[in-house]
Amino acid sequence: MQRNFNTFELPQDIQPSHIATNDEGLTIQWSENLHKSFYPWDFLESYLKSDKPTPEAVDINFFGVDGHEKAEMMYEKVLQEPKAIGRLTDLIRRNGFAFVTGVPTSSANATEKFLEQIAFIRQTHYGGFYDFVPDLALADTAYTNIALGAHTDTTYFTDPAGLQAFHLLSHVDTASERDSGAGLGGQSLLVDGFYAASLLKSEDPKAFEVLSQVRLPWHASGNKGITISPDKMYPVLEVDETTGRVHRLRWNNDDRGVVPFGSLYSPMEWYAAARKWNEILRRKSVEYWFQLKPGNVLIFDNWRVLHGRSAFTGVRRMCGGYINRDDFVSRWRNTNFPRAEILKRVIG
């Protein structure tokens, strides 16, 4: 059945020479013998429904103290099965993190090549793919053996890293530590920031409002010759204006500047909200602790998941890298959906 073009009104400043409709869509001849455009009905109707793009729908699975039991895949399967990267990226997209087990530890090369199957590894002031021990080669707490509370990385970038990966290649003690019987420590911590934000909004709506409204200065200035800050100030919780849900968070006191005066809320109100947020992040029911083991690569969504660790002794060799958010999501789309579905998600 042919549809009526009268329901589709073109702007007054657009005056095509000819318009034709049929069951498939709308054809416009813009000028004689020059250019002709065809628009399918589904394409037109998707844009008539709203003047704002609809956020991509993803079923998010919150996690707490128990993590996700099945959030892991075997390295050999990822290499051999064509659809494995799709399953891996979908695990991360929905659950916030995933483990890949059985990764070779004889060198860091296997880990690097594996991560590049998701997308290229992002270059930062730390370099690209990293392989380090706690020697303070760079002025960052990651290069120490002290405990680190739950935080997100690269809060000081306009576009914070999308994915982060860790692979513990080895952890050896020293002779003195063996003699004293001291444990090595170094347990890893993950916290679902989306889950924590939902608790904050439910328990203390004002604190949620403050942390989503007050914009803060973020920066990386610890290394000589490096002073990085985003294009503007950003709040701890960035809320999607169409859904009201948190879509990205920034939380790292080591990167945060001074809480500003002159905003809708005072610094005292911000600190009160931050204390409530920090209390939620430290709850036993929210913290997921586990021991990283050589051969197991952890990959997590840095826009959503906070990470940390307990203090440790001995020498740990850790490798991994950052992957851009947009490239990760593109890989997820193109390994989980047909092309027509992808285009509907992106352009309507």
Half-sphere exposure (CA, 13 Å, Cβ side) for 26? 19
- Amino acid 175: pLDDT: 54
pLDDT tens digit sequence for 194-204: 999 999 999 99
**Do residues 163 and 302 make contact, with C-beta atoms less than 8 angstroms apart?**
yes
- The residue ranges of every structural domain in the chain are 5-49, 72-334
Give me the residue label for tokens 């409709």: 21
Q: Report yes or no: 228 and 155 within 8 Å, Cβ to Cβ.
A: no
Distance separating alpha carbons of residues 184 and 174, to the nearest angstrom: 10
- Closest C-alpha among 322, 324, 323, 312 to residue 143: 312
**Predicted pLDDT at 305:** 98
pLDDT in tens, 221-258: 877 888 899 999 999 999 998 888 999 999 999 999 99
pLDDT at 196: 98
pLDDT at residue 1, as a whole number? 42
Report whether 85 contacts 77 (CB < 8 A).
no
> What parts of the chain have a pLDDT lower than 50?
1-2, 178-181
CATH of domain 72-334: 3.60.130.10
pTM of the predicted model, to two decimals? 0.85
C-alpha atoms less than 13 angstroms from C-alpha of 93 in its C-beta half-sphere: 22
> What is the pLDDT, as a whole number, of residue 32?
63
Largest CA distance in the chain: 90
- In this structure, are residues 195 and 304 in contact, taking their beta carbons and an 8 Å threshold? no
262: left (phi over 0), alpha (psi -120 to 50) or beta: left
Question: Coil, helix or strand for 273?
Answer: helix
CA distance 27 to 336: 32
Q: Is 312 helix (H, G, I), strand (E, B) or coil?
A: strand
pLDDT at 2: 47
Cβ contact 228:144 at 8 Å: no
The residue type found at 104 is P
**Which pLDDT score is estimated for 320?**
95
Say how many residues make up the chain.
Answer: 348
Beta bridge mates, 125: none
CB atoms within 10 A of CB 80: 9
Helix (H, G, I), strand (E, B) or coil at 25: strand
For helices 325-334 and 339-347, the axis angle rounded to 10 degrees is 140
- Please report the sign of the dihedral spanned by the C-alpha atoms of residue 198, residue 199, residue 201, residue 202: positive
